[in-house]
Amino acid sequence: MRIRLRGRPNASGCASSDGGTLVALHDSSETQFGGSLSPLRGTDLSESEGGAPARRVTCGMNWRMAGVLTPSLPVFRLSPQQTEIPQRLVGVALMCGALAMFASLDAMAKVLSQSLPVSQVVWARYAGHFVFALAFVLPSRDRFRLWRTNSVSFQMIRGSLLLAGTACNFFALQHLQLAVTSAFFFTVPLIVAALSVPLLGERVGPHRWAAIGVGFIGVLLVARPGMGVMHWAVSLSLLTALFTGLYQISTRRAALTDDPRTSQLYVALAGVLVMTPMLLVSWQDPGWRGWLLFAAMGLVAGVGHYWLTLAHRLAPASALAPFFYVHILWMTGLGFLVFGDVPDQWTVAGAAVVVAAGLYLVRRERLQARRGT
């Protein structure tokens, strides 16, 4: 049997794969092979009688593939439109994995903050992140260029905004369940939409303002002010969302002039520079268990940011945005497994309202993008 490679004829009169993705179809399943085909001259590969994986190509040039194909399977090339779907799925998987890393980070911060000063826990989070970032930057040929920024002061202010949000979040985690802090964190897209009007000059229509209003009704359901159950730490969670929203808006501005890797470096550097002096007055010996959790926090923070970056490379933001709300599933699950916390019906109802408002904002963004194109 002969396997024919489909493609446009090249200068040698042989079908060329153009470096495309090859798929071997067997029954209803589909196996994708990464890599591309490369010419292998001077070799005649023929299929043996026993079905060995050797094969003959039907033109004057042989090809070597980075993957093993069963000789009896037909092979053909996928178009870029067809390969876009698997890439999106990988991007979505990476997004969900990154959110699992961030939920784990919060869970470890909650454990550590029960016995250590919050300032020390915040320092450990940024120190680990900075080490992870350096591990990627130092081997790079661009390691010196990546420190160049259009405005060092703006990058440090941007990093300080995220640091303030992290500190407020870690303080809140001392007193609130993971699911509760997660519900408040979902107001970040609503805050970004609202603040984009005065800070970025963007236009927000009546539908989006309505979604913002509904989202904050959900916040009231979770917080329940005036009912005697509102904890003072709720205000810290709201400040976390506010600082994070300002950080995201400043990230949009920084992306216009600076490399994303540069922005990540300065975020970690700002946290280390601000928090290190505080250790002089608040340091406590964390013990071997604390050091282990410190290292794990740095690892999951770095991996989470790395996976998040890869996800946005493989899939458009509009495809990833709805999966941002998977975060509450991770947070609720870890809260139950690690701390035995079960969110009450008010928290569940309020979180559902906030998530619905956020998803509606995503839908409006998609519609607006389509009209713009």
| pLDDT tens string 227-247 | 555 788 889 999 999 999 899
Is residue 46 pLDDT above 80, yes or no?
Answer: no
Confidence of residue 164 (pLDDT cuts 50, 70, 90): very high
User: Distance of alpha carbon 18 from its chain centroid, rounded?
Assistant: 32
Query: How far are the Cα atoms of 196, 318, 349, 354 from residue 207, in angstroms, in the given order?
Result: 15, 18, 22, 15
**What burial letters (b/e) apply to 260-297, b meaning 16+ CB within 10 Å?**
ebbbbbbbbbbbbebbeeeeeeeeeebeeebeebbeeb
**pLDDT tens readout for residues 123-153:** 999 998 888 888 878 887 888 888 888 889 9
Of the listed ranges 30-44, 134-148, 249-263, the least confidently predicted one is 30-44
Model's pTM, two decimal places? 0.70
- Which DSSP helix (H) or strand (E) runs through 303? helix 287-314
Is residue 66 pLDDT above 80, yes or no?
Answer: no
Is residue 284 pLDDT above 80, yes or no?
Answer: yes
**pLDDT tens readout for residues 185-231:** 888 888 888 888 888 787 878 888 888 888 888 888 887 765 555 78
Of the listed ranges 48-57, 134-143, 341-350, the least confidently predicted one is 48-57
Q: How far apart are CA 198 and CA 364, in angstroms?
A: 20
